[in-house]
Structure 1
Amino acid sequence: MKNALHLMTGIFILTLFASCGSNKDLQERAPAQFNEVYYTYTSNGIQLNIPVAAIQDQRITMDAVYFHGMKSELNKSEEKPNLYVANFRMGSEDMIMHEDPKEEYGNRPPQLPEESPFSIDEDEAILVFTQYDKLKYYKLTGIVEKE
């Protein structure tokens, strides 16, 4: 009887911890109203642009995005108030190579790959946002390339 009680307690604790760790679900409702999401190639890599038509800034903060096998922070554009931008470094900018390593200071390495917590296609991204102090995920689809 005592062994059965220990076994049941152990199973309960494992189930409790397993349910806490698997709380990464994609949200079906968008955290904001988005216009057409697009990306462009820059001299440094890829710039993902997320235009927002409406968002409740008091409840939601846009944190990061997974796109093309990388993760980047989302920043609000200074020129356009309703545009969030993520920059992904591809390592294509000119690097200073010098025999004195001090002269190479400031070279930025390419961004390391970081796998998305969900499987996505080439025209999709995972938006990471915070709502009421809870981390949530939303899949952006139909992302197009612009020149």
Structure 2
Amino acid sequence: MRNALHLLAGVFILSIFASCGSNKDLQARIPAQFSEVYYTYNSNGIQLNIPVTSIQDQRISLDAVYFHGMKSDLKKSEEKPNLYVADFRMGSGDMVMHEDPKEEYGNKPPQIPEKSPFEIEDDEAILVFTQNDQVKYYKLTGIVEKE
């Protein structure tokens, strides 16, 4: 009986420590500054643009973003070095339909919806970044649509 109590207490303590390590909290600050974040619609879907005015590259890396019910990786723009871009495929682009399935190779399917770890509005996004080998989250607000 006594051993069973010790075992249950040990399992309880371990579960408390395990749940603390997996908590996801929004960061109030991030070692980067952004100008106006905006999105545009294109033939493939939505393109989210995150202009960075300053970033501490050696401290953090911008990895992904949740926006409009989807998640996409962030890529640094080749034309503008201070711009990070996320593409969300909506499946509305041109697709090759052919009786030979090999001819349809290269068609990109629409992205599968992926729920954000936090509740966000239509003009908000969750930025996923890595700092000191830890994944962290930051809420971008006031995102506008541009033509």
TM-score computed with the length of structure 1 as normaliser: 0.95
Which residue matches 2:95? 95
Q: Deviations over 1:116-140 (max 9, x none)?
A: 1111000000000011111100000
How many percent of aligned residue pairs carry the same amino acid?
71
User: What SS class does the counterpart of residue 11 from structure 1 fall into?
Assistant: helix
User: What SS class does the counterpart of residue 78 from structure 2 fall into?
Assistant: coil
- 2:90 & 2:69 partners in 1: Cα distance? 11
Give, in angstroms, the shift of residue 3 of structure 1.
Answer: 3.6
- 1:95 & 1:37 partners in 2: Cα distance? 30
Could you tell me which amino acid in structure 1 is paired with residue 10 of structure 2? T
Aligned-residue Cα RMSD (Å) equals 1.1
Q: 1:13-92 alignment to 2 at 5 Å?
A: 13-22=14-23, 24-92=24-92
User: What SS class does the counterpart of residue 15 from structure 2 fall into?
Assistant: helix
User: What SS class does the counterpart of residue 98 from structure 1 fall into?
Assistant: coil
Contact 2:31 2:59 in 1 (8 A): no
Which residue matches 1:143? 143
- 1:92 & 1:74 partners in 2: Cα distance? 21
Could you tell me which amino acid in structure 2 is paired with residue 16 of structure 1? F
Which residue matches 2:9? 8
The gaps in structure 2 that reach 5 residues or longer are: none
User: What SS class does the counterpart of residue 13 from structure 1 fall into?
Assistant: helix
- 2:31 & 2:94 partners in 1: Cα distance? 38
Give, in angstroms, the shift of residue 21 of structure 1.
Answer: 2.1
Contact 2:40 2:145 in 1 (8 A): yes
Contact 2:39 2:48 in 1 (8 A): yes
Give, in angstroms, the shift of residue 69 of structure 1.
Answer: 0.5
Q: Which structure 1 residue ranges, 4+ long, deviate > 2 Å from structure 2?
A: 1-7
User: What SS class does the counterpart of residue 39 from structure 1 fall into?
Assistant: strand
